[in-house]
Amino acid sequence: MAYLNPGEPQKRLKLFVGIVTVIALLFVGRLFYTQVIDAERLNTISSDQRSVPRTLPAIRGTIYDAEGKVLAKTVMRYDINVAPSKVAEFTRTLNDQDVQVTVDQAAGEMASALSMTKAAVLKKITGTGEYAQVKKRVDAAAYRQIKDLKIPWVYTDAIADRLYPNGAVAGNIVGFVNAEGIGVAGIEQMYDKCLAGVSGQETFETGADGIKIPESTVTITEAVPGRDVHLTINADLQYYAQQVMASTVSYLRGDWGSATIIDIKTGRILAAAEAPTVDPNAPEKSKSEDRGARIFQQAFEPGSTLKTITAAIAIEEGKATPETKVTVPYSWPLPGVNYNITDSHVHPTEQLTTTGILRDSSNTGIAQIGGLVDYKIRRAYLDKFGLGSKTSIGFPGEHSGLLNTLENWDGIKRWVSTFGQGVSVTPIQSAMMYQALGNGGVLLEPTLTDGCADENGKYATAPVKAGKQVVSAATAESTLLMLEKVVEHGGIGHYGAVPGYRIGAKTGTAQITDPATGRYGSLHAVSYIGLGPIEDAQFVVAVTVYKSRTISNSFGVAGPFKKIMQQTLRTYRVPPSTTKSPNIAEEW
Amino acid sequence: MSTARLSQRSVQPQQRVNLRALPAMGAARANRSAMVFLAICVAAIAVLNLCIHIMTSNAVYELADLQAQKRELTTNAQILSEQVDSLSSQQNLADSAQKLGMIANANPVFLRISDQTVLGQPKAALDTSGRVASNLIPNAALTERTGDISSMVASSGASATAAVVAETVVSYGGQIAASPTR
């Protein structure tokens, strides 16, 4: 081994520099390997160890009524959890003084904040586990109270939840979401893609104290918030109609009731009230059959409300006028089939016009009027009026109703369909038939929403689509004038009259098939569908109660119709009528 | 012996010292100054780094504090928003209106400005059939209700109307007409 002579500092320095250089090169090499060659792998490992991934939830869009009232919105709810293994006495600083809080005392405070009993809270927090849920999804006020208690072994999880501030008002239409926040009924389901938005994701790094390291956030995907949906429903009118229907169904002890209000000129659905119905805040509290929208989903034989359409078809085809004279017996044999039809009450043979037939809602009379038109043509008109077809709304679970094919229209069906048997309609179809009559014979597509707003919340009112001329304007006007006589002089019809306004309407007491026997049962679907004001028809109100038990005819719904029509005219500031109905012969 | 040794050393030729020129003192001083300056710079950078680090740390805690405040304010806003929602719900308004004895007039009257014509027949809003009913529509979100209505009613002298408060929307006579429809 060679030793440097102490007298050779230059050489010693060179050797030292050489060694340092080699070491430095080794470090540089290692650094290069770490920073460049193996950087990605190490970064991943490092990131996995320190990074906290977080889902950026997309806030679900809001559902508004036509006036901008919120019907559904997203709020934060909080799960209140504890770690039972850590439940113990603790010290709370109160007014700069330390106060010892026992478990029993803390449980009592929690119970008060969470509207629970102390025993229930104690049961939840006792144990050895690391997790126990004391209460799910409490509101912000309860969350605040819990936080203020400063209990060290209580922790909370924030969860986005859906709030329906007006409860069951339009609950049948708005629908609800499931536990995962996915729309499963009504508009929530129909517009789920629009409302839901897209969740994003970010990661950030935390220090040993769990606090986020600044500038460490990496947004992997941005959350795209859900967009809003605006309904055509007027929540105030909807509430009023629901109040009336809840009261009516209760009084009539019916299975259910519905009230539909349509803006005749636009086809916009202003109210779609039902009773009983669902509170989307707590759908589990409603029966399963009450969680939908029967206005779209329930079809039934319309009964006498279809007589209006039979008369309009006969007038349109030039086979009858409002004053066509008909001899109307109590019982009438159907031509070509061995079957007699009767009116609902015994009466001597009467001499009525088409208008008188509608006024008295005579089965034997309307069958004769309907018989003036070939059944194939009549069926084609019913098809044009929208029977047997779903509306263009596409509401989830919508029923098309039933309009049998020509081949299935046997001898009896050809006749009984003149007074609303052998066909079935949904409440929205019933209302829209009358919308066409009020709109100069032009059937519009019903509208329930103005669609999905853009990302800035802007939306455009849904345009009124060109309708379908199902009967001429003259026929529609003649029909309205006949309906006005139903309200003026009808035995039940006049109970729906609205003081100060010219109203036209038709009653209906439809039989309901008993599935057990396959025959008509003793209960009825009672309806009252009307328009007003007749001189410039603006609104259709269609009221139905299914299986009314205390009143078996449409008298049970005439009063509710009147109230809802009154409220509708008042809501939209429609001035009272200034004209009078023309004279039309009802008898001869 | 010792004398001989001494004499021997004295006769040995003196070994020559290997000498070389030292760098000038001025250059060494310059190098030292550079090193000192470098050290000061490094120390300054370290101190600056420490300061920045302390400031950043403080900012982090300040940020955390502000975020906590933001969460508190957001919670406040949500509590207030839900109170407003609840109080402005139709159910609460209907209940409050009913408690105040308010009546919906079933006979609206309009004044047409153009020709100063009164449309409709004015009637007092006494028709009980038009009275606002007690709420029948469920609302699980109705957590907040308008309070102290009774004192307002009492102070306005409206307590006399309490007897009719229980009226429902739909009322029927005892007579049920036979149906002419089918």
Quick: pLDDT tens for A283-316: 999 999 999 999 999 999 999 999 999 999 999 9
> What was the pLDDT predicted at A121?
92
* Short-list B93, B90, B143, CA closest to A139: B143
Q: Is the pLDDT of residue A269 over 70?
A: yes
This complex has an ipTM of 0.80
Helix axes A555-571, A235-252, angle to 10 degrees: 170
**Whole-number pLDDT of residue A172:** 96
Q: How far is B13 from chain A (nearest CA, A)?
A: 22
**According to the per-residue pLDDT averaged within each range, which of A7-16, A202-211, A426-435, B108-117 is highest?**
A426-435
Strand order in the sheet with A200-205: A51-56, A200-205, A218-221
B136 C-beta neighbours (distance < 10 Å), count: 21
Cβ–Cβ gap B169/A247 under 8 Å: yes
- B89 close to A (CB below 8 A): yes
The more confidently predicted of residues A83 and A322 is A322
Structure tokens at B169: 């929307």
Which among B91, B108, B179 has the least Cβ separation from residue A553?
B179
Q: Between chains, do B180 and A491 touch, taking CB under 8 Å as contact?
A: yes
B75 with A140: Cβ contact below 8 A: yes
Residue A148 token pair: 């203020």
Q: Do A563 and B169 touch (CB under 8 A)?
A: yes
Higher confidence at residue A38 or residue B22?
A38
Average pLDDT over residues B118-124: 81
Has residue A372 got a pLDDT over 90? yes
Optimal mutation site among A166, A216, A250, A417, interface B, most CBs of chain B within 10 A: A166
List CB contacts (< 8 A) between A573 and chain B.
Answer: 110
CB spacing of B60 vs A303 below 8 angstroms = no
Q: Which of A18-22, A125-129, B151-155 has the lowest mean pLDDT?
A: B151-155
Residues A350-369 have a mean pLDDT of 96
A275: which chain B residues are within 8 Å (Cβ-Cβ)? 136
A224-239: pLDDT as tens digits: 889 999 999 999 999 9
Q: Mean of the pLDDT values across residues B62-67? A: 88
Q: How far apart are CA B180 and CA A509, in angstroms?
A: 9
Report the gap between the CA of A373 and the closest CA in chain B (Å).
22
Contact status of B18 with chain A (Cβ, < 8 Å): yes
Mean pLDDT over all residues of chain B? 72
| B91 chain-A contacts, CB cut-off 8 A | 166-167, 169
From the list B76, B107, B181, the residue facing A509 with the nearest CB is B181
Long-range contacts of A121-125 (CB under 8 A, 24+ apart): A124/A82, A125/A82, A125/A84, A125/A87, A125/A153
Decide if B182 and A552 are in contact by the 8 Å CB cutoff.
no
Residues of A whose CB is below 8 A from B107: 499-500
**Separation of alpha carbons B29 and B24, rounded Å:** 9
> For a pLDDT cut of 90, what percent of chain A falls above it?
68
> Of A141 and A57, which is predicted with more confidence?
A141
pLDDT, residue B145, reads: 77
Let me know: does A51 contact A201? Beta carbons within 8 Å. no
Cα–Cα distance measured from residue B100 to residue A371, given in angstroms and rounded to the nearest whole number: 58
Taking 60 as the threshold, does the pLDDT of residue A436 lie above it?
Answer: yes
- Start-end ranges of CATH 3.90.1310.10 in chain A? 55-231
Question: Which residues of chain B does A70 touch, with a Cβ-Cβ cutoff of 8 Å?
Answer: 85
pLDDT over 70 at A418, yes or no: yes
**B14 interfaces chain A, CB cutoff of 8 Å:** no
**Do the chains contact at B180 and A246, CB–CB below 8 Å?**
no
Using the predicted structure, report yes or no on whether residue B49 has a pLDDT greater than 80.
Answer: yes
Q: How far is CA A59 from the centre of its chain?
A: 20
pLDDT more than 90, % of chain B:
14
Every domain of chain A with CATH number 3.40.710.10 lies at: 293-450+465-543
Mean pLDDT of chain A: 91
Q: How many CB pairs under 8 A join A and B?
A: 178
Contact at CB, B141 and A76, closer than 8 angstroms: no
Q: Is A275 within 8 Å of A290 (Cβ atoms)?
A: no
- Domain formed by A293-450+465-543, architecture: 3-Layer(aba) Sandwich (3.40)
Whole-angstrom distance, CA of residue A146 vs CA of residue A135: 11
Q: A576 vs B120: CB contact, 8 Å cut-off? A: yes
CATH class of A55-231: alpha beta
Percent of chain A's residues with pLDDT above 70: 96
Backbone phi, psi, residue A308, to 5°? -55, -45
Taking residues B134-153, what's their average pLDDT? Answer: 75
Q: Do B138 and A168 touch (CB under 8 A)?
A: yes
- A507 in Cβ contact with B181 (< 8 Å): yes
Question: Distance between CA A356 and CA A182 in Å, rounded?
Answer: 53
pLDDT, position B150: 57
Looking at residue B122, its pLDDT comes to: 81
pLDDT higher than threshold 60 for residue B149: no
Give the one of B110, B136, B178 whose C-beta lies nearest to A243's C-beta. B136
Mean pLDDT of A130-153: 90
CB contact under 8 A, B181 and A344: yes
Contact at 8 Å (CB) between B98 and B150? no
Question: Which pLDDT value is given to residue B173?
Answer: 38
Out of A168, A553, A567, whose CB is closest to B139?
Answer: A168
The pLDDT value recorded for residue B133 is 61
Of A73, A75, A66, A281, whose CA–CA distance to A195 is shortest? Answer: A73
Hunting for tokens 């098809």 — which residue is that? A383
Residue A330: other Cβ atoms inside 10 A: 17
Is the CB of A509 less than 8 angstroms away from the CB of B179?
A: yes
Taking the C-alpha atoms of B66, B70, B75 and B80 in order, what is their torsion angle to the nearest 10 degrees?
130
A344 and B179: CB-CB below 8 Å?
yes
**Mean local confidence (pLDDT), A5-9:** 70
- Closest A-chain CA to B111: A575
- Percent of chain B whose pLDDT exceeds 70: 62
DSSP at B177: P
